Chain A
């Protein structure tokens, strides 16, 4: 039986972890490689890096991070943030990323998704959808949630599937950072619309939220950042909790 995945996400800026696990025995709390290793040793099903480096001159730092991490972690590694072209994707994959997550570029020009999924295979192309509720629909935001495009998120999800995306990473901008739980309605609407796996993101504050994302939101995988940081919960605890709720997980 296929297991639901738990994916811890690390925000990386200028090659350093911005928020992360705050363990006393960490030699360097800002080192993404060391943090990723802790997650993978703890049973993370995948690791996600979100590069939030703002300045162009520091953009290359992520390549070094990915290269080092892929030599230490032998679970799938997804990298997102600032990916603009097929060439960017190629570079990340060559450094050892297994998947890339494309957000703004996919919205601005869906040919990037078509071209990259043809070139590298759909399995490594994740389209990240950042959506915010506006009356009775959800609209796509780009540029790290700053620009409202007015595009309907659910229709866009379907479009991305047809363009060749292998998975969708759906983040609710309303919930992100609130710790109030995933936007279940958004997740389940997109999940029932498309035939590719949906990864739920944005808003996890406790372990029940992970359960809801899978049971109510029909997500194949759940991504979370802050509950795993600062040692609030370990990935192992999360898995044991999901297991106790009857959700199939890899333990």
Chain B
């Protein structure tokens, strides 16, 4: 099996690579590439993302044909894809970080700044927070409710259809931190930095 981590200059992805390689050991081949043919032929795709919504979307469009290839992979062919952090946020129709920017539009909704109650809560939301698992997501197999995950973000994904939400976390408000719709998975938190429990989520995704 081939799992491709999309390398599209979205910032620091070495932790994502290290964690997937740790979980995959020698059983699964982990590719790190933006090569369209390799993305097309892989069994699963991971879409990481750091920095702003706009910078990630721009970076994605900078690679000719990459967005089309991802659309074909996730929407037409319905193969499993996991978005992490801004990778998840880009599933939305639109994001409001820096300036209004169109997302991939895979899961209807918007990405807006966390309401920190006029400075009562610090932003970014950095650190370990508990997740409230709201549906039986395949990537949460063996993960206990209220497990701790590592977060670092100032913007949140607000999906229109609440049925796609698989987990939330409580900060200044109730924040969507994981979604699942058919073959499309996303986590706002960083499984690659969430210790053994995070690696378990990666393992679940690899073994889908």
Using CB atoms and an 8 Å cutoff, list the residues of chain A in contact with chain B: 1-5, 40, 45, 70-71, 74-76, 93-98, 119-124, 166-167, 195-197, 220-221, 250
Contact with A along B12-38 (1 / 0, CB 8 A): 101100110110000000000000000
A96–B21 alpha-carbon span in the complex (Å): 13
Q: Which residues of A contact B18 (CB under 8 A)?
A: 70-71, 74, 96
Q: Which residues of B contact A167 (CB under 8 A)?
A: 126
B195 contacts A1, C-beta separation under 8 Å:
no
A93 contacts B116, C-beta separation under 8 Å:
no
B123 contacts A196, C-beta separation under 8 Å:
yes
Query: If the complex has contacts A71-B22, A74-B198, A74-B199, are A120 and B50 also in contact, measured as CB distance less than 8 A?
Result: yes
Query: If the complex has contacts A2-B171, A3-B129, A98-B12, are A74 and B19 also in contact, measured as CB distance less than 8 A?
Result: yes
Q: 12 A-B pairs, CB-CB below 8 angstroms?
A: A2-B127, A2-B128, A3-B128, A45-B128, A70-B18, A71-B18, A74-B15, A75-B194, A76-B193, A93-B14, A97-B12, A124-B50
Output the residue of A5, A96, A121, A167 with the most chain B CB within 10 A.
A121
Q: Which residues of A contact B125 (CB under 8 A)?
A: 2
Where chain A touches its partner, the secondary structure class is loop
Assuming A120-B51, A122-B154, A197-B126, what are 19 further A-B pairs, CB within 8 angstroms?
A1-B130, A2-B125, A2-B127, A3-B127, A45-B128, A70-B14, A70-B15, A70-B18, A74-B15, A75-B194, A94-B12, A96-B18, A121-B11, A124-B11, A124-B12, A166-B126, A195-B123, A196-B123, A250-B128
Query: If the complex has contacts A74-B199, A76-B150, A120-B51, are A5 and B12 also in contact, measured as CB distance less than 8 A?
Result: no
Q: Which residues of B contact A94 (CB under 8 A)?
A: 12, 14
Q: Which residues of A contact B126 (CB under 8 A)?
A: 123, 166-167, 197, 220
Q: Which residues of A contact B129 (CB under 8 A)?
A: 1-3
Name the CB-closest residue of A to B85. A123
How many interface residues does chain B have, given as a range? 35 or more
Q: Which residues of B contact A70 (CB under 8 A)?
A: 14-15, 18
A74 contacts B124, C-beta separation under 8 Å:
no
A196 contacts B122, C-beta separation under 8 Å:
yes
Residue B192 interfacial (CB < 8 Å): yes
Residue B166 interfacial (CB < 8 Å): no
A124–B152 alpha-carbon span in the complex (Å): 9
Q: Which residues of A contact B123 (CB under 8 A)?
A: 195-196
Output the residue of B12, B196, B198 with the most chain A CB within 10 A.
B12
B153 contacts A123, C-beta separation under 8 Å:
yes
Name the CB-closest residue of B to A3. B128
Q: Which residues of B contact A120 (CB under 8 A)?
A: 11-12, 50-51
Using a CB-CB cutoff of 8 Å, which residues 96-149 of chain B contact chain A? 116, 119, 122-130, 148
B195 contacts A74, C-beta separation under 8 Å:
yes
Counting from the closest, the 3 A-B pairs by CB-CB distance are A121-B51, A93-B12, A250-B128
Name the CB-closest residue of A to B198. A74
A74–B191 alpha-carbon span in the complex (Å): 9
A220–B122 alpha-carbon span in the complex (Å): 9
A121 contacts B127, C-beta separation under 8 Å:
no
B50 contacts A123, C-beta separation under 8 Å:
yes
Q: Which residues of A contact B21 (CB under 8 A)?
A: 71
Closest chain B CB from A126 CB (angstroms): 10
A178–B122 alpha-carbon span in the complex (Å): 30
A144–B195 alpha-carbon span in the complex (Å): 31
B19 contacts A123, C-beta separation under 8 Å:
no
Q: Which residues of A contact B14 (CB under 8 A)?
A: 70, 93-96
Q: Which residues of B contact A121 (CB under 8 A)?
A: 11, 50-52, 55
